[in-house]
Structure 1
């Protein structure tokens, strides 16, 4: 199975890959073990069908290739880290390399890198006008001229805040969207309900969201309950590092302190060229950092 700081849900890969059609306008869904991908494609019907076949072919063997290199992918980024062989594994390694000064492993970019890989395969089919590969909420995106794509920026699970609606245009330079937080699909060192990152690729957005969510924190606070990652998931790439398992209600000052720390990390990541815009949410409070595209609150 695959699990870790940026991985999909840890589900044993007991069966081979399979494809199905959802009730949502017949979008193609590709599933294998922990990987669960939905394709949202626009273009002539025959073009969409051909692009779906390209994606299905690219999906074959993808999980097995990642599992074969798990030892490398779970190792901390930094000098001397072995270079994996597979294209998705290499994309994961490249996405986290700029963050080697902080603790991170290539697993922080696995969901985004898988989405990017499938997007590249299907976009090779001429004639598509829009393509989005949604891998458990991390999205790889490609838009044709004049196309726009709308996404909702959530405040995270179990919060009452209404999401903001973001409109992305073909010329905005955004090809990836990813969200991280302590109540998400993977473990976090921080306490953010949600950190959503818009970046050039989904792998970059995935890695950046993980790093920024880790920074939204109140170190040493009695309001935060933490456990060693291996006690929560024995195969976690986070080892004995403490991950957040509960956050009590925080005061306004505590929320501001944690969000300030996350916003500072977000500005650093944007300055590195690894993100374009970042949205941070913690218990009903939020921040936006970077160049934000058109937004409005969902009614």
Structure 2
């Protein structure tokens, strides 16, 4: 199947090609926005073929040297390289890296702000003085396609152009990708979408516990071409004791704060079975909001929303 695009309300575009499914939105000079959208469409048409061409390497664990050639593939590797002491493949950053590649089309005069939402992994463009509100939807289990009313978010925050954040990503065991942990969602704000994607994966894996209520299966049994092979991934989590959830979240926060000290994460929100933790920015500016506070882009199937 070839790449497809569909115009949506509000000047947004839905682009789809195989497993890649994203929404593009931009604001600013109408002519410049239209030109940028066309550039995105042209670039999008080649993305899947480029990734498939290097898929065998992309499914291999990240090593000391990068043998990948394409710009998106190399960006995936670079985002995951800081975590190579543990098992990780470049595929952990694929959605964010694709979004990051496409957002570059909006880096042009006349574009005030834009975002690419690739299944909840979001790349941003914000011209000086601009901002975007991000709404957090923490638990995919609550999402009901039959509900046609406004989406009720769990938390909101605003990203401004002066913040060092151009990527938002969410990971968790309920999302579209596999997780080794039990977090309903881990949403990460980082300098780039690829970095946010990789870090969200790693932090969500760290939100974990050893409990009979957690069911896991080898990734290869859940998806025969998974890059995780026979590594057990979480497929179901029963209602756990609050103390177990607390310990799991504490482990995730410890990992997030370690990445923050390395400059790989700016802020993060971790959610598991009604409990949540916020890793605040080390610098002042963005009050990472707990559930039931104030925003609007959306990340991940478990994740975020924009306006």
Structures share fold, TM-score greater than 0.5? yes
1:8 paired residue number: none
User: Given the alignment of the two structures, is residue 97 of structure 1 paired with residue 81 of structure 2, yes or no?
Assistant: yes
Question: How far has the Cα of 1:159 moved from its partner?
Answer: 4.7
1:83 paired residue number: 67
Q: Root-mean-square deviation (CA), in Å? A: 1.6
Runs of 4+ more than 4 Å apart: 159-162
1:287 paired residue number: 277
Given candidates 153, 165, 169, the residue that maps to 1:178 is 169
Secondary structure of 1:255's aligned partner: helix
Q: Does the Cα contact within 8 Å between 2:106 and 2:125 map onto a contact in 1? A: no
Q: Supply the distance in 1 between the matched residues of 2:37 and 2:118 (Cα, whole angstroms).
A: 15
Question: How far has the Cα of 1:86 moved from its partner?
Answer: 0.4
Given candidates 184, 193, 196, the residue that maps to 2:184 is 193
Structure 1 unmatched runs, 5+: 1-14
Q: Supply the distance in 2 between the matched residues of 1:211 and 1:298 (Cα, whole angstroms).
A: 26
Q: TM-score, normalised by structure 1?
A: 0.91
Given candidates 197, 203, 207, the residue that maps to 1:206 is 197
> Equivalences for 1:147-296 in 2 at 5 Å?
147-159=130-142, 163-219=154-210, 221-291=211-281, 293-294=286-287, 295=289
Q: Supply the distance in 2 between the matched residues of 1:102 and 1:109 (Cα, whole angstroms).
A: 15
Q: Does the Cα contact within 8 Å between 2:135 and 2:153 map onto a contact in 1? A: no
Q: Supply the distance in 1 between the matched residues of 2:28 and 2:153 (Cα, whole angstroms).
A: 32
Secondary structure of 1:203's aligned partner: helix
Q: Does the Cα contact within 8 Å between 1:83 and 1:93 map onto a contact in 2? A: no
Q: Does the Cα contact within 8 Å between 1:230 and 1:236 map onto a contact in 2? A: yes
Given candidates 15, 36, 43, the residue that maps to 1:30 is 15
Q: What are the superposed Cα offsets for residues 39-81 of structure 1, whole Å, 9 maximum, x if unpaired? A: 110101111101101111111211011001011101011225x
2:104 paired residue number: 120
Query: How many residues were matched structurally?
Result: 281
Q: What are the superposed Cα offsets for residues 90-132 of structure 1, whole Å, 9 maximum, x if unpaired? A: 0000000000112110000000000000001232x32100011
Secondary structure of 1:60's aligned partner: helix
Q: What are the superposed Cα offsets for residues 162-206 of structure 1, whole Å, 9 maximum, x if unpaired? A: 511011110011000000000101000000000000000000000
Structure 2 unmatched runs, 5+: 144-151, 295-307
